[in-house]
Structure formats: structure tokens, C-alpha cells
Amino acid sequence: MRHSISYSLGKYQVNINFWLFILFLLMQTLLNELGYWQLERAKEKTQRMIQLDSSANQLITDFSKISQDDLTHFMPVKFEAFLSDDNTYLIENKIQNGKLGYHVLNLVTEKSTGRKVLINRGWISAKANRKNLPQVTNPPFDWLIIGRIYPINQDILSSEAEIEQYDQVYRIPVMDINVLAKLKEKLGENIEPFLVRLEKNQGSGFVIDWQWISMLPEKHLGYAFQWFALAFTLLIISIIASVKRRDNNQ
């Protein structure tokens, strides 16, 4: 059984191996699909940035009307609340300007509905020794909160993740649905499946520099260019490997 074909093309001889040709097609498909996927991601991130800008003036003041669509669009909110407890909740392994630290959370009760939600007050630095927790003061008991909704993601961490408690400080490895369920069970409270990230320049906030998208559209476009460039390079190499100039004596 033949595994390759050869034919003449003017002054050139073309040799194509079936198995290598199939591998070439698979690689071309993969590289181009990765490029198009990055283009789609860039489009999604661009739309997200547009949505963030356009929603800035669409302030939600009625807590009972928060919808799933509001969660995905990080809608801005403003509401009155009071502290549900005197606990501080620290999400660890948060990086700010190359420094390791925590996000500081407090649990509040929205006054008009009685719904409980965690408020992210921003970043604080961690001590050199992990056992030494930072000292954090609570916000006022009655609190006017202005921020943006941030949904709690699903299944980022395994169900084995543990919440550490030190008196009235809870150290949390990451905030996902599994960890939230454990926190709700530990506190005996029904907590909303989203955070509210404080806006800047509020007296009860810490270092606030929220990243609403994980990667800018320009970076996705750069990755797309790399994948397409690899696909084009593979095409050129394959042509060079398959086409040879014929010997004039043949």
C-alpha cells in the first residue's frame, strides 16, 4: 500500500506523504481554531469593557430587583445596610503591585430586604509570617454602600478547601460556590451568591484597584496573531519540505 504520492509541477517535484499530510491538516485546524478562539475572547472582553462604561450611570438602588443579568454585567449598586456581625473575612493570596495580601470582607444586612451580602472593602498587605494576621477595623454599624456587584464563581476550588477561624477572623483560601456553602453552614446564614466591591474613595475601604476582566482585549489579539503566525509558518515549512527542484538530468 502506497503511503505517498509524487508528481511533477514544471521544474519542481512534489512529494506528499499521506500520514504527514493528515498530521499537517490536524495541526492547521488546531492552530487556526486557537487563533479564532482568542479573537472571540478579545471580542467578549471588548464588549465587557463597553458594558462597564455604559452601566456606570445605571445605579441599582432597589436591592430586591437585582437579577442574574445584573450579576454578569457587574452593575453598580447603592444601598443602606448594617453589619450582620463583628467578624472579618480575609480572602488570601491576593496580589497588589507585586505584594501578597488579602481582600477584606464584611457581612452586612441590606435594610429594606434583610438579605445578607459580603462586602469586599479592598486589599491589605499580608504579614511576613502567615500566622500573624493583619489588624483590621470594622466599618460603621450603619453603612451606606456604593459599589459594583461581583458574582461568586462556581467550582474554582475543590470541596476540600478549609476555612480557618481565629476568634472573629475567618481566613478563606478563595471565594467560590463551595467555600461560600461552607461559610453559610458555619455561620448559619443565607448569604447572597455575589459580593459587592466597594467603589474608591469610601471611608471604609482599603486599597481599591479592581480588575474586572482577567486579560485585556489587546493581549488576546496578540495571542491570536501568534497562533495564526504559527499556522502560516507550518504551511511554509510543509511546502518547502514537500517541493523540490527537479534534477535537469532526470
Give phi and psi for 167, each to the nearest 5: 55, -110
Look at residue 49 in the predicted model and tell me its pLDDT. 79
Distance CA 31, CA 34 (A): 5
Look at residue 117 in the predicted model and tell me its pLDDT. 95
Where are the alpha helices (H) located in 56-171, listed in sequence order? 68-72
Confidence of residue 222 (pLDDT cuts 50, 70, 90): very high
Does residue 9 carry a pLDDT above 80?
Answer: no
Buried b (16+ CB within 10 A) or exposed e, 13-30: beeeeeeeeeebeeebee
DSSP 135: P
Q: What digits encode the pLDDT tens for the residues 14-66?
A: 787 788 888 989 999 999 999 999 999 898 888 777 777 767 677 888 888 88
Does residue 200 carry a pLDDT above 90?
Answer: no
Query: Of residues 226 and 161, which shows the higher confidence score?
Result: 226
Contact 139, 84 (CB under 8 A): no
Does residue 72 carry a pLDDT above 80?
Answer: no
Does residue 70 carry a pLDDT above 90?
Answer: no
Asked which of 22-31, 48-57, 68-77, 112-121 is least confident by mean pLDDT, the reply is 48-57
Does residue 5 carry a pLDDT above 70?
Answer: yes
Look at residue 196 in the predicted model and tell me its pLDDT. 94
Contact 224, 39 (CB under 8 A): yes
| Nearest residue to 140 via CA among 188, 106, 103 | 106
- In the predicted model, what is the mean pLDDT of residues 123-136? 87
Confidence of residue 155 (pLDDT cuts 50, 70, 90): low
Contact 105, 90 (CB under 8 A): yes
54: Cβ–Cβ under 8 A, 6 or more apart, which residues? Answer: none
Here the cell at position 219 is 493581549
Question: What whole-number percentage of the chain has pLDDT above 90?
Answer: 42
